[in-house]
Amino acid sequence: MAVLGSLSAVRAAPWLWRRAAYAAAGLRGLCPGKGYAVGPAQVRTAQSLPTFGFLLDIDGVLVRGHRVIPAALDAFRRLLNAQGQLRVPVVFVTNAGNILQDSKAQELSALLGFKVEPDQVILSHSPMKLFSQYHGKRMLVSGQGPVVQNARALGFKNVVTVDELRVAFPVLDMVDLQRRPKTTPLPRNDFPAIEGVLLLGEPVRWETSLQLIMDVLLSNGNPGTGVATAPYPHLPVLASNMDLLWMAEAKMPRFGHGTFLLCLETIYHKVTGRELRYEGLMGKPSILTYQYAEDLIRQQAERRGWAAPIEKLYAVGDNPMSDVYGANLFHRYLQMTQHERAKELGAGELWKQQPSAAQSCASILVCTGVYSPEAPGSTQPAQGEDEPPFHGHRDFSFSPGLIEASHIVNDVDEAVRLVFRKEGWAS
């Protein structure tokens, strides 16, 4: 049995992670190409009300970079009816965050050939809407793309970008010789204190962001001043997207925001001797992200007039350390009794969702992205080692059972066919 007591996806809500989770007994993966381990089921008519829904990852499942994976087009031909509407509820759960929700929906619509609504897309930072206690604070935001628009869409009303901070205090950014100030500017005392840090995704200039975020944390939000002793606890930090690696067009995985977080955590610990702490850590594999996704699935079913409760969720992804781990962790949460869940959530929970109708969340791992059964890598033990290297975030304990997928298939089309067969639906 693996204890997940150290999991802390939402430090402000430790109730999500206090309970010990058991190894994922009974979850056995299939080898690609060996068929489906599914018993016979009566094929239902096209008019049947769905009682299941899909949580689909995007990168490595539907697309590689800007190119759609051909199997994704086949999958959606099965998922859409003759009128071009989804036959079952589907939400897209990505750990990407350097794009607007509306833009991501438009991008998916163009690639997949049907209308994807913005409220079907969950970005890594979408659950930050729940952290209203920080929405009025002056927050330093790190990332790239429309970071200010994203922060404001999440509810944060007073944000400062890393570039704005660098302009206000030019002597802080000293790595790039070409950007160093030619003269020493006068010190400023009119810059309002920063009250927290938002990490929405990987930035472009890591050295600048790492330096200035450290300056803010060590100075208690006043980077133009010197502080003899670093304050601890430090200012609140909210972060999303813990993926160490992700898959684009390159043959090997690329660094993700999890790598940036690892750098920041390591530097902070080396400088202060203390652990960098998060008030909120979200995106897959956080339970909060899956609760958020389940609620959108429920709302989607209600809008379509599907009265039957959505009792089964199928999470399709390419990354064992985020997609599979998160789905299995959420499945374990769903197996708790209502009394146990209530005890876990406590009185001051962030999440005010309706009682969950979902009874299970099955993880389906595809071989079109980070995971590849033919190449040693993220899930293979190093030579002479009993366990593979753990690519998950520091605040998530390694549990081999939680990275073991319910099913392993070649691609997302095979995943949809598998689920339809399990549910007795014609594909």
Q: What is the pLDDT of residue 408?
A: 97
> Which residues have a Cβ under 8 Å from the Cβ of 266 and sit 6 or more positions away?
none
User: Contact, 8 vs 242, CB < 8 A?
Assistant: no
SS3 18: coil
d(C-alpha 250, C-alpha 64), whole Å = 9
Q: What is the pLDDT of residue 338?
A: 61
Show the tokens assigned to 327.
Answer: 């789905």
**321 DSSP assignment:** I
Report how far Cα 264 is from the mean position of its chain's Cα atoms.
Answer: 18
Distance set, CA 415 to CA 124, 128, 251 (Å): 23, 30, 23
Show the tokens assigned to 263.
Answer: 């750098």
Q: What is the pLDDT of residue 353?
A: 56
CA proximity to 232, closest of 199, 198, 271: 271
**235 DSSP assignment:** S
User: Contact, 278 vs 239, CB < 8 A?
Assistant: yes
Q: How is 101-128 classified by DSSP, letter by letter?
A: HHHHHHHHHHHHTS---GGGEE-TTGGG
d(C-alpha 22, C-alpha 56), whole Å = 25
How many CB atoms within 10 Å of residue 265? 18
Q: What is the pLDDT of residue 184?
A: 77
Q: What is the pLDDT of residue 389?
A: 83
Q: Along the chain (427 residues), what's the average pLDDT of each consecutive run of 10 residues?
A: 34 32 31 38 60 97 94 98 96 95 97 96 96 97 97 98 95 84 77 97 96 97 86 97 89 94 98 96 94 95 95 97 95 80 52 76 96 64 63 88 95 98 91
Show the tokens assigned to 200.
Answer: 């929405």
- Type of residue found at 151: A
**390 DSSP assignment:** P
d(C-alpha 369, C-alpha 349), whole Å = 35
Q: What is the 3-state secondary structure (H, E, C) of 179-230?
A: HCCCCCCCCCCCCCCCCEEEECCCCCCHHHHHHHHHHHHHCCCCCCCCCCCC
User: Contact, 361 vs 290, CB < 8 A?
Assistant: yes
Q: What is the pLDDT of residue 36?
A: 32
In this structure, the dihedral spanned by the alpha carbons of residues 107, 110, 114 and 116, taken in order and rounded to 10 degrees, is 10
User: Contact, 407 vs 418, CB < 8 A?
Assistant: yes
How many CB atoms within 10 Å of residue 191? 15
How much is the pTM? 0.83
Q: What is the pLDDT of residue 4?
A: 35
Give me the residue label for tokens 């995007």. 58
Q: What is the pLDDT of residue 30?
A: 38
d(C-alpha 281, C-alpha 257), whole Å = 12
Q: What is the pLDDT of residue 350?
A: 53
User: Contact, 387 vs 398, CB < 8 A?
Assistant: yes
- Type of residue found at 273: G
Q: What is the pLDDT of residue 17?
A: 29
**7 DSSP assignment:** -
d(C-alpha 340, C-alpha 342), whole Å = 5
Q: What is the pLDDT of residue 326?
A: 96
Q: What is the pLDDT of residue 234?
A: 98
Strand runs labelled E in 264-384? 280-282, 312-317, 360-366
